[in-house]
Amino acid sequence: MRAYQDMVFSTAARLAGNDTQAEDIAQEVFIRAYEHFSDLRSSVTAGGWLKTVTTNLTLNYLSRYRKRWRLFSELRASQDSDEDGAELDWEVPDTILADLSAEQRSAIVDTALRQLPDHQRLPLVLYHFEDLSYQEIAEKLNVSLTKIKTDIRRARAALLPLLQNAGGARDTLDG
Amino acid sequence: MNKRSESEQKLEQILQQALSGLPPRRAPGTLESRVATELARRALLPWWRASFAAWPVVARVAFILVCAVLGVATILGGISAYLGDRSFDEASAVLLSWAHPFLTVVSSAGGLVALLVRVIPPLWLYGILGVGAFLYVTLFGLGAAAYRTLYLQPSSAGDDL
């Protein structure tokens, strides 16, 4: 468990954007792992199994009380295409957070991710951290491919200023 | 490729650089003890309070058999109580006599619909269908507006998963 607990917690925390929920999810993941201990004990894919279970449990956790509103939410998402989230309308820098250590970058990124709404953070994390394709994310989240692309594009546009501001503030503090 | 899509590609690349290779977050120190405590708590539960999948095979098979027997006994008991000591032919006649009024009602309703379709001018039918569709769309729109106004708060604008 010690070998994987950071990975499991980290995956759940970045997806859920909430440490308390992530700890609950991580607990459930390891209880399931314990129930499959005989299979996982000698498996070389135990890490992959844990990551998949963590991702699926987190998505289930987040969607448990929201499925009933999916119809209207999709309707809202298509209607509000011009008012929901930022669009990229400024110059993109060549690098970002490049001068910071991995730990500093991690802290800034996690704080910024928590500020994104679920429907932007989830696909963004699945794309950039879990290396899933747009199509795989659309299937996993059960939403259209077009919406996934739009949400990820807007998530990036919303994340950029958050990272720049946080990075600038960190530089100022360090300097 | 236009300037906007170039910018978006560039943004994807620099974010990928910034996000890739980040170390995992450190799990809380309490996680391990929480898991151990929960496992111990679950181990103390009697087997019948665990999930059905965790029941012993014998218990699962017995449970399914008992349920099946109870279900069949309930159905047979109900039929037997209703029929009493009547013969099979009488019983069949009784059951068919139940179905007869139902079939008559369905047949009459079908005849009535056919008559109405012949008697009512097609324009009226189209009008009725149109009004029905209009009411449906109106109610759907009112529902969506009520959802957006009463349920969605600005702070939960993205909670649609």
Confidence band of B155 (pLDDT split at 50, 70, 90):
very low
| Inter-chain residue contact B23 with A106, CB threshold 8 Å | yes
Chain B from 52 to 111: CB within 8 A of any A CB:
54
Q: Check whether A41 has a pLDDT greater than 90.
A: no
Least CB–CB distance from A128: residue in B4, B16, B144: B16
Cβ proximity of A142 and B160 under 8 Å:
no
- CB-hemisphere CA count at 13 Å for B139? 6
Question: Which of B11, B15, B27 minimizes the C-alpha distance to A113?
Answer: B15
The pLDDT value given to residue B136: 95
| Inter-chain residue contact A9 with B24, CB threshold 8 Å | yes
Cα end-to-end distance, chain B, whole Å? 33
* Least-confidence region, from A9-18, A32-41, B30-39: A32-41
DSSP letters for chain B: --HHHHHHHHHHHHHHHHHTTPPPPPPPTTHHHHHHHHHHHHHHS-GGGS-GGGS-HHHHHHHHHHHHHHHHHHHHHHHHHHHTT--HHHHHHHHHHHHHHHHHHHHHHHHHHHHHHHHS-HHHHHHHHHHHHHHHHHHHHHHHHHIIIII--GGGTT---
Tokens of A64: 């448990």
Return mean pLDDT, chain A.
Answer: 79
Residue A2 contacts by C-beta under 8 Å, 6 or more apart in sequence? B32
The pLDDT value given to residue A159: 87
Q: Check whether B33 has a pLDDT greater than 80.
A: yes
Structural domains of chain A, ranges and CATH numbers in brackets = 1-64 (1.10.1740), 68-175 (1.10.10.10)
The pLDDT value given to residue A28: 92
ipTM of the complex: 0.71
Tens digit of each residue's pLDDT (9 = 90 or more) over B74-112: 988 887 777 666 666 676 677 677 778 888 898 899 988
Q: What's the full length of chain B, in residues? A: 161
Residue A166 contacts by C-beta under 8 Å, 6 or more apart in sequence? A108, A111, A112
Chain A from 99 to 128: CB within 8 A of any B CB:
102-103, 105-106, 109-110, 116-122, 128
* pTM for this entry: 0.61
Tens digit of each residue's pLDDT (9 = 90 or more) over A52-69: 999 999 998 887 756 544
The pLDDT value given to residue B4: 67
Least CB–CB distance from A72: residue in B14, B38, B147: B147
Contacts 24+ apart (CB under 8 A), B7-13: B7/A88, B7/A91, B7/A92, B8/A88, B8/A153, B8/A156, B10/A92, B11/A88, B11/A92, B11/A156, B11/A157, B11/A160, B12/A156
Tens digit of each residue's pLDDT (9 = 90 or more) over A109-137: 888 888 888 888 999 999 988 889 999 99
- The residues spanned by each domain of chain B are 43-88, 102-155
Tens digit of each residue's pLDDT (9 = 90 or more) over B112-127: 888 888 888 888 888 9
Tens digit of each residue's pLDDT (9 = 90 or more) over A67-96: 544 544 555 555 454 444 555 566 777 777
